Structure 1
Amino acid sequence: MELIFIRHGEGEHTLNIPNSLQTSDPILTDEGINQAKLLRTQFPLSKEDILVISPLRRALLTAHYWSMGINCKKTVNPLVSPRIFPQVSEGRTLPCDRLLDRQKISVDFPNIQIEEELPEELWANGINILPQENFNQLAKQFLEWCKQQETPKIYIISHDGTITSYRQFITGDKLTRDDFPKDTGWFNLKF
Structure 2
Amino acid sequence: MELFFIRHGEGEHTLNLPSSLHKRNPPLTKKGMDQAKKLKDRFPLSTQDIVFISPLVRTMQTAMLWADGVDCRKIVTPYVSPRMFPLLSNKQTLPCDVMMEKENILHAFPSFELDDNPPVALWKEGFNTATERDFTRYAEEFLANCSRLKKEKIYIVSHDGTITSYRQLITGRQLSRDDFPKETGWFRINC
Q: TM-score, normalised by structure 2?
A: 0.98
Aligned match of 1:43: 43
Distance (Å, rounded) in 1 between the aligned partners of 2:176 and 2:67: 31
Q: SS in structure 2 opposite 1:9?
A: coil
Maintained 8 Å contact 1:9/1:62 = yes
State the partner residue of 2:80.
80
3-state SS of 1:134 partner: helix
Written as runs of structure 1 = structure 2, the 5 A alignment for 1:123-162 is 123-162=123-162
Corresponding residue of 1:60: 60
CA RMSD between the two structures: 0.8
Q: Number of aligned pairs?
A: 191
Q: Distance in 1 between matches of 2:2 and 2:117?
A: 23
In structure 1, the residue matched to 2:184 is 184
User: Is 1:5 paired with 2:10?
Assistant: no
Mapping for residues 165-184 of structure 1, pairs under 5 Å = 165-184=165-184
Moved over 4 A (4+): none
1:96 aligned residue: 96
Q: 2:118 and 2:146 mapped to 1: Cα distance?
A: 15
Taking the aligned partners of 2:28 and 2:113, their CA distance within structure 1 comes to 21
Residue pair 1:77, 1:115 contacting (<8 A) in 2 also: yes
In the alignment, is the contact (CA less than 8 A) between 1:5 and 1:156 conserved in 2? yes
Tell me if the contact between 1:102 and 1:114 (Cα under 8 Å) persists in the aligned partners.
yes
How far, CA to CA, are the matches of 1:145 and 1:178 in structure 2? 29
- Rounded to whole Å, the distance in 1 between the matches of 2:81 and 2:93 is 11
Letter matched to residue 53 of structure 1 = I
> 2:79–2:118: 8 Å Cα contact kept in structure 1?
no
Ranges in structure 1 where 5+ consecutive residues have no aligned partner = none
CA contact (8 A) 1:49 1:152 kept: no
The 3-state SS of whatever aligns with 2:122 is helix
SS of the residue aligned with 1:188? strand
Once the 2 structures are TM-superposed, how far is the Cα of residue 152 of structure 1 from its aligned partner?
Answer: 1.9
* 8 A contact 1:48–1:151 mirrored in 2: no
**Partner of 2:33 in structure 1?**
33
In the TM superposition, residue 153 of structure 1 has moved relative to its aligned partner by 1.5
Identity percentage of aligned residues: 52
DSSP-derived class of the 1:170 partner: helix
Corresponding residue SS for 1:157: strand
Deviation at 1:91, TM superposition (A): 1.6
Q: CA deviation at 1:90?
A: 1.2
Kindly report which structure 2 residues correspond to 1:11-30, keeping only aligned pairs within 5 A, or say none.
11-30=11-30
Q: Secondary structure at the match of 1:138?
A: helix
Q: Is the 8 A contact 2:57 2:100 kept in 1?
A: yes
* TM-score (normalizing by structure 1): 0.98
